[in-house]
């Protein structure tokens, strides 16, 4: 009898151990796969967009859930709080996939919230990831295949490689959007012969610093307007006259708290570095000349040359911050604007009445 009881107990114990082992293993595999499914560069297809809606209702629907948004109370608190998440928690598809290549509507979204040297340089912590999440959603709903490049992935080399890959995946008649959210700065000094104001505009990549330090930082992470011009021209030739390209810049190459300070509030966050990056050895990238017919092109910037780009604070949604241009683009898409001309026209005609831009004016070229 004792032998039978002992055997039963052994069977029960082995069953318990086996169950516990596979439960632990499954948890481990689940955790592993959830990390593998999250990547910084991604693309997602989505159905086409629904009917038009009025601006008042858009102001709430454009906002992100509280768990995904950034709320900044002041520049001081912005640089001292915990780093933002650097990935978008959606299915990941490589830009080089057949899915991306076959899509006729492509978008590349580049955003930096936490710069590598933000604390050292005393830069505002930006809400750029809010921009990317918001635009990712509305663009996919409008039928775009979207690829994102954020934070530490958005180095100079990362941005250049993403633009190269985007160009390689483009085909005739494609509709292409490239969006930048982050800081900007001008370079002065060196060879500025191709710039009317003798200053080169730049989007600051993840590892940028605001001062030239010989042998330490000489401008490698400044992504210049000449480099952007190169890829703009390349893509426009590839997609041809029946295609369309729009580039949007929710940054500012000259914004600061020192200019327009009388209208700056304690909760304001601005995008842009006030003092130019001085580099007496600067040499611009040679601009290419188009050798084939090009697509129409629209460029939208968040503010005029001598204005400050203030982030939009959504007071109806717990004071969450967004790039002002990014927010307006989301409103345009949610209102049913499906082509770049109507999107840009929406931004230019509604920036003030929407309440998103009250101290700056967007610029269109």
Coil, strand or helix: which one is 345? helix
Q: What is the pTM of this model?
A: 0.76
HSE-CB for 274 with a 13 A CA cutoff = 11
- Name the pLDDT band for 66 (thresholds 50, 70, 90): very low
Average of pLDDT values for 72-92? 38
pLDDT class of 75 with cuts at 50, 70, 90: very low
d(CA 148, CA 19): 41
Q: What is the pLDDT of residues 315-350, one digit of tens each?
A: 888 889 999 999 999 999 999 998 999 999 999 999
Any idea which architecture 39-364 has in CATH?
Answer: 3-Layer(aba) Sandwich (3.40)
How many Cα atoms are found within 13 Å in the side-chain-facing hemisphere of 56?
A: 0
> Which pLDDT score is estimated for 95?
82
Greatest CA span in the chain, whole angstroms? 100
pLDDT given at position 265: 78
pLDDT at res. 93: 58
The larger pLDDT score, comparing residue 74 to residue 177, is at 177
Q: Which of 30-34, 89-93, 269-273 has the highest mean pLDDT?
A: 269-273
Contact between residue 340 and residue 289 where contact means Cβ atoms under 8 Å apart:
no
d(CA 102, CA 346): 29
Residue 143: left if φ>0, alpha if ψ -120 to 50, beta else—which one? left
Kindly tell me if the per-residue pLDDT of 156 is higher than 90.
Answer: yes
Is pLDDT above 70 for 254? Answer: no
pLDDT at 50: 33
Separation of alpha carbons 279 and 299, rounded Å: 27
Catalogue the long-range contacts made by 341-347 (C-beta closer than 8 Å, 24 or more residues apart).
341/298, 343/246, 344/246, 344/298, 344/300, 347/300
Query: In this model, does residue 116 exceed pLDDT 70?
Result: yes
- C-beta of residue 340 within 8 angstroms of C-beta of residue 297: no
Residue of higher predicted confidence among 114 and 286: 114
The answer to whether residues 272 and 255 touch, using CB atoms and an 8 Å cutoff, is: yes
Most confident of 47-51, 123-127, 134-138: 134-138
pLDDT over 90, % of the chain? 53
Return the bridge partners of 234, or none. Answer: none
């Amino acid at each position: 009898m004792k032998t039978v009881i002992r055997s039963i107990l052994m069977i029960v114990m082995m069953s318990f151990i086996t169950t516990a082992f596979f439960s632990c293993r499954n948890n481990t595999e689940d955790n592993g796969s959830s990390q593998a499914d999250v990547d910084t560069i991604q693309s997602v297809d989505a159905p086409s967009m629904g009917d038009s809606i009025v601006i008042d209702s858009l102001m709430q629907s454009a906002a992100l859930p509280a768990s995904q948004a950034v709320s900044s109370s002041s520049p001081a608190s912005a640089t001292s709080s915990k780093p933002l998440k650097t990935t978008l928690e959606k299915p990941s598809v490589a830009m080089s996939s057949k899915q991306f290549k076959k899509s006729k509507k492509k978008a590349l979204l580049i955003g930096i919230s936490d710069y590598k040297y933000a604390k050292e340089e005393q830069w505002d912590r930006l809400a750029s990831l809010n921009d990317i999440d918001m635009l990712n959603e509305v663009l996919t709903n409008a039928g775009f295949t979207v690829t994102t490049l954020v934070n530490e992935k958005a180095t100079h080399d990362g941005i250049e490689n993403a633009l190269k890959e985007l160009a390689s995946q483009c085909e005739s008649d494609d509709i292409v959007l490239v969006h930048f959210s982050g800081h900007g700065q001008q370079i002065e000094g060196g060879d500025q012969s191709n710039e009317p104001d003798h200053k080169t505009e730049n989007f600051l990549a993840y590892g940028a610093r605001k001062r030239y330090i010989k042998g330490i930082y000489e401008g490698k992470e400044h992504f210049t307007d000449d480099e952007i011009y190169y890829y703009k021209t390349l893509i426009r030739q590839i997609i041809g006259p029946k295609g369309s390209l729009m580039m949007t810049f929710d940054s500012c190459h000259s914004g600061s708290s020192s200019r327009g300070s009388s209208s700056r509030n304690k909760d304001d966050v601005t995008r842009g570095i006030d003092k130019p990056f001085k580099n007496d050895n600067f040499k611009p990238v040679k601009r290419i000349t188009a050798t084939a017919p090009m697509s129409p092109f629209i460029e939208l910037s968040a503010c005029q040359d001598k204005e400050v780009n203030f982030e939009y604070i959504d007071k109806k949604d717990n004071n969450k911050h967004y790039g002002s241009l990014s927010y307006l683009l989301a409103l345009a898409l949610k209102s049913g604007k499906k082509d770049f001309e109507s999107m840009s026209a929406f931004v230019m005609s509604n920036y003030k009445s929407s309440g998103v831009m009250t101290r700056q004016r967007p610029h269109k070229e």
